[in-house]
A and B are shown apart, each in its own frame.
Chain A
Amino acid sequence: MAAIASAAHRDAAFETEPDLAAELTDGLDRWADAFNRGWAEDDWSGRFGEERWRALCAAGLTGLVSGTAFGGLGLSAHQTARILERLGTICHDGGLGFTLASHLCSTCIPIERFGSSPLKARYLHGLATGTIVGAHAITEPDSGSDAFAMRTRMLRDGDDYVVSGEKCFVSNAPIAGLFVIYARSDPDKGALGGFSALAVERDTPGLSVGRSVRKMGLRTAPTADLHLDDVRVPAANLIGREGQGYSILDYVMKWEVLSVFAVQLGEMRRRLTTAIAYARERQQFGVAIGSFQAVSHRIADMHIRIESAANWLARVAAAVAGGGGASLETAAAKLFISEANVATALDAIRIHGGAGYMSETGIEAGLRDAVGGLIYSGTSDIQRNRIAAMLGL
């Protein structure tokens, strides 16, 4: 099995963890049909695959990171990454993997790590079983890369917070039952101490979800805007402490890079396997096209990108497991893997030629899905800024 475990720089914790993750990883293969059934048609029409989501729930994937006390598996960062990577190799529906990773990172992770006991008791079981889909709302019309320029505000009023504002490009919003809303809780403070995270149920009066927006890729992963008009939320739904939004989001973003891009690593491995098989089989000028350096070098480059991506991801997993800052590693991993995914997706199309360009083969969808990775979770340019800053520039 080609997994992160095959990376050259495995860390000791990964080697010695129990085999639960390995069992679950290997067992995923029998779900392949259920994860893929009807995805191409849904990708074309931009439809979320409820049946495929239910298969993910039945396979236990929605409970990867939630504690066992709440029906989850309580897996580590390494174990979670291994399983999500395997999902990426067997599941052609890139939107489904993205929806799952968003679900895990947006709500399960912050509530599990920072949430109060009552908050965990109230939401984690539903999130772990997938009966509640999670989403988080960060981006606003005037705050994208400059995330903490957000204007959505939450004001304490008795036992409640009252939240007002606009959020856009919220992954999972059309299907989510629970949102983690990041909002300004102290107008006099900046990113540090001025923002908080709040768990908000979908049917809370004043919260409305816009229509699903059409996207270039990840079309089966539904996305919509949120409108919050004096939404009254119990103060008990505060995640962590008031003013802790920055540290919660920083932690969530590390998990988001780990989870989303573990799926992409698996997708890249599948793409490479398919490209090698095609290059061996496809004959032109009387020989297999893999015998031409123009093709074989492209495949060699794909392999190197994938193994480099695996190494970066393993470093993020080690950092998340170790509890350290790891801002540079996370930024570098996100930048490298997202760009490697686009490059390997384009290489796969070139290797497959005309067939790769036709939607029926499913190969072009990989490129459309990959492009989003250059944008979400911090653009490539922002990651370069962060890396440079961490290097003292």
Chain B
Amino acid sequence: MTQSATLRDFICAEFAPDLKPGELPADLDLIDSGIIDSLGVLKLVAFLEGRFDIAIAPEELDADLYRTIDSIEALIAGKRIGSAA
């Protein structure tokens, strides 16, 4: 399963059970649309750390980083580049 599909599956299963993972637009604002709230971000962070083996710093608990599928994927990619360097 791709990273994007893993992410979509988690978000739909946890926060939007009425949506199908494939129907979740990559640029949909997950926060403004009410899909992810403040507690949801904490759940998402725990998922990302566990599933993708990354550490998310306190400063990175920033709404903009988790606003869309695209931005979350960018965060993961940035972490992986950082850890590979």
Contact = CB atoms under 8 A, between A and B. Distances in A.
Interface string B44-66: 01100100000111111111100
Nearest to B38: A191
B9 to A, nearest CB: 13
B81 to A, nearest CB: 18
A389 B39 contact: yes
Interface in A373-393: 386, 389-390, 392
Contact of B58 (A243, A251, A386, A392): A251
Nearest to A240: B59
A190 B37 contact: yes
A291 B85 CA distance: 62
Given A192-B63, A193-B63, A247-B61, A325 B37 contact: no
Interface size range on B against A: 20 to 34
Name the prevailing secondary structure of the B interface residues: helix
A392 B45 contact: no
A392 B14 contact: yes
Nearest to A191: B38
Contacts of A38: none
Contact of A322 (B31, B45, B46, B55): B55
A376 to B, nearest CB: 19
Given A190-B37, A192-B63, A243-B63, A390 B42 contact: yes
Contacts of A248: 58
A187 to B, nearest CB: 15
B62 to A, nearest CB: 6
A191 to B, nearest CB: 4
A113 B42 contact: no
Interface in A213-262: 240, 243-244, 246-248, 250-251
B62 A244 contact: yes
B43 A193 contact: no
Contacts of B12: none
Nearest to A188: B32
Interface string A165-198: 0000000000000000000000001111100000
A90 to B, nearest CB: 32
A113 B49 CA distance: 21
A308 interface: no
Interface string B25-42: 000000100000111011
A323 B56 contact: yes
Most buried by A among B45, B57, B63: B63
Given A191-B37, A390-B43, A325 B59 contact: no
Interface string A307-327: 000000000000000111111
Contacts of A243: 63
Contact of B45 (A113, A251, A325, A386): A325
Given A328-B46, A389-B43, A114 B38 contact: no
B46 A390 contact: yes
A161 interface: no
Contacts of A389: 39, 43
A-B CB proximity, top 5 nearest: A247-B61, A192-B63, A191-B38, A251-B58, A325-B45
Interface of B: 14, 31, 37-39, 41-43, 45-46, 49, 55-64
8 contacts: A114-B58, A190-B31, A192-B31, A244-B59, A244-B62, A324-B55, A326-B46, A327-B43
